[in-house]
Amino acid sequence: MKRVYWMIFLVAMFAFGFGSGCLITDGNSAGGDCCVNYEKCETVCDFTGNCRQSCWFEELCSDTCGGEAGEPGGEDSLDFCYHDGDCAGAEICVNNLCRVPTTTERGEAGLCQACQTNSDCADPDALCVLLGDEDAGGETVCTTPCGSGCGEGFECKTIAGSSQCLPKADANGVRSCANVPELECVTARDCAAGESCVNNECEAPETAECSASNPCATGETCRLGECVEDNAPECADRNDCATGQTCESGECVGGDETCVFNSECAEGAMCVNGKCFSDCSVDEECGRYEYCRQGLCQPSECSGTQDCAGDEVCVDAICQPACDPNTSSDSCGEGYICADGGFCDRDPNVECRTSAECLRAEICIEGQCESPCTCNTDCAGGEVCNLDSGTCEVPADGGPESCDSVCDCVSGEQCVANECVAG
């Protein structure tokens, strides 16, 4: 009988299964050590085959992170940066300066905003957590303490001994900030031009005269952070207009124009994603709140990684997809590679990704700059020219039968007596 009980005990012990669970990272603890908070799940089965899962949070810390002041990675190393990849050693990019993570200097990231360590979070009691499995590329974002209650779409969980609001898990047990109800902002792109997202609220620059929370007096309106009379000209020069616009007779024009080819834009502008953008060589040639990037005036999306989504980093004032340079770069998409800084960058071996990277009279076709077709005879046999895109394609219906000129017929055919015939 004792042997039976002993066998049951062994079966129950070997039935324990351990899952990787949901990693939650915290690059900085109160003691200054590098710590990792992670959710550990254990599946327990009895000898009858009935199983249940139990999960809890554990914290592992080491004392191997950070340097002394004055050393690489030390507190007084304040090199300018756009993202953490610009910094050395254990430093991170905080407000465009490389710093050692601390618990005394707070960042501006609010609930579900991107972070690297606890000190990036605006609330001193918040934690920087990694949602989802690390291998699946989960978002690294800030929590908020449960003391004031968790909003709709969030729930209170115990992490490292403190109660924190986390996005509710979906049917598959995955937590994501993409599934939560509206906050005023999560990234700067949720705010008006020139504003930043600070602790989930849109804030205008300190130099701004007005904002949504600081309206102008009666008879005035707020334009790009300045109070102007309601009937005042919309602009005095290009700096008063949005990206891609120019100032003509006191009005901003050109921003809503759509395009397919660079040649459809005004002189000095290029076609990007169906919109005309002004070209440039230095930031000073661009409008207010714009940044000269890859020869084009583009909106400044971020001043630091905290302005971007959880799976992005701030590179040259633009939020770029984050990636792991130690793994395959396929996640960056065609024409891009994973740079050493941990962001997706242009592949130097690919001539173009968009037509804006080509000459004014060319378009980008499968990574190469080519002249757009204007007549079916520009295409290979059996193809027709799509004048809307400037590319050659095989007609779904076999091609036209009647014609006024050879350009109306499938390439390789001739127009004879208003009919397309084999050439």
311 and 341, same domain (yes or no): no
User: Residues 101, 33: contact at Cβ < 8 Å?
Assistant: no
The count of domains in the chain is 3
Of the three residues 372, 387, 407, the one that is the final residue of a domain is: 372
What CA–CA distance (Å, rounded) separates 220 from 159?
49
194 and 310, same domain (yes or no): yes
330 and 305, same domain (yes or no): no
196 and 310, same domain (yes or no): yes
State the pTM of this model. 0.36
242 and 348, same domain (yes or no): no
What CA–CA distance (Å, rounded) separates 301 from 290?
9
139: in domain: no
226: in domain: yes
State the CB neighbour count (10 A cutoff) for residue 292. Answer: 19
* φ, ψ (nearest 5 deg) of residue 47: -70, -10
Of the three residues 285, 300, 317, the one that is the final residue of a domain is: 317
Among 121, 145, 118, 141, residue whose Cα is nearest residue 131: 141
285 and 306, same domain (yes or no): yes
380 and 350, same domain (yes or no): no
401 and 280, same domain (yes or no): no
What CA–CA distance (Å, rounded) separates 239 from 4?
84
247: in domain: yes
327: in domain: yes
5: in domain: no
Q: According to the model, what pLDDT value does residue 370 have?
A: 86
246 and 198, same domain (yes or no): yes
Of the three residues 357, 372, 387, the one that is the final residue of a domain is: 372
87: in domain: no
- Token pair listed for 105: 């200097």
Residue-number span of the structural domain to which 223 is assigned: 188-260+270-317
6: in domain: no
234 and 340, same domain (yes or no): no
Q: According to the model, what pLDDT value does residue 188 have?
A: 66
Task: Output the tens digit of pLDDT for each of the chain's 423 residues.
Answer: 434 333 333 333 333 333 333 333 333 333 333 444 444 445 444 444 455 545 555 554 544 333 333 333 333 445 666 555 566 665 666 656 676 654 445 677 888 887 777 777 888 888 888 776 544 456 778 888 888 788 888 888 887 678 888 888 877 777 888 767 667 777 666 676 667 777 777 777 777 788 777 888 888 888 777 788 888 887 766 666 665 566 677 777 665 456 667 776 777 777 776 677 777 777 777 776 677 776 777 767 776 777 777 778 887 777 888 888 777 656 787 788 888 778 888 788 888 877 777 777 788 888 888 888 888 888 888 888 887 778 888 888 878 888 888 888 898 888 998 888 887
294: in domain: yes
User: Residues 335, 346: contact at Cβ < 8 Å?
Assistant: yes
What CA–CA distance (Å, rounded) separates 95 from 358?
35
286 and 385, same domain (yes or no): no
211 and 312, same domain (yes or no): yes
